Amino acid sequence: MKKLIFIFCLLFTIPAHSFQTIRAQNTSYSSRVQQINYIVACKRPSKSLFKIKERYVRSFANKYKKKTLDKHLQRVILCKDLRVNNAKWVRGTYDMKSLTLFIEISKDHEDTEYALHHEFSSILLLTSKNKALRKEWTKHNRSSYGTIWGRHVNPAWSSENKMLREKGFLFPYSTTDFENDFNVMASFHMCSMLKYTLYKASKKYPLIKKKYEIIKKFYKKY
């Protein structure tokens, strides 16, 4: 894979951490997620929107140990109208080789911190040496991934569904695959504004509780 080349006008660094927060240019980047190559199209957001959303990057960074960020994250690129292989429903993605997060920002959505934790949890998951994690996690599923809900079928990815939670899935999007299932629960655990939602679900649904316990154990070292 070709080395990522980033062209930008303004560069901002978050104090106390080594990674950079970048205001994207109107350009495309190469990205590699596991063994698959992608083209990430990332438009440049306004300076004012970038400054507003940069606060959420700081909030995100404050949830992790410095050594975690130093080891697992090099840069965060904030984009307007993020697309991956021309798919426009994407709110975030990541590149494993360069340890980069691509996050779409807009004035209409307050999901920036959620998206940061969501994508970063993939990097932590894929670099984790815990080979038994997937097996431990999926034994709490009462349905196979990809059989209940698809992102192109139902846009209400975060709708609450009693049947799904009884089967061990926090939201419909969680049913797509293991990584997405892990991402969703990790993000709700790490976001202060969302953590209570996960806590309540874990008290009501035994399988959600089992996965929540795995998440809490996983994040203790980060």
pLDDT one digit per residue (tens) for the chain, 222 residues: 333 333 333 333 344 568 999 999 988 887 777 667 888 999 999 999 999 999 999 999 999 999 999 999 999 999 999 998 888 888 999 999 899 999 999 988 889 999 999 999 999 999 998 889 999 999 999 999 986 654 444 546 667 889 999 999 999 889 999 999 999 999 999 998 899 999 999 999 999 999 999 999 999 999
Give residue 129's identity as a one-letter amino acid code: K
The dihedrals phi and psi of 11, each to the nearest 5 degrees, come to -125, 125
In a 13 Å sphere around the CA of 81, the CA atoms on its Cβ side amount to: 10
Give dist(CA 25, CA 123) in Å, integer. 24
Question: The pTM is what?
Answer: 0.87
Residues 6+ apart with CB under 8 A from 141: 167, 168, 169, 181, 207
Range list of H helices, 17-132: 47-61, 66-72, 112-127
What residue segments make up the domains of the chain, in order of their start? Answer: 11-127, 133-219
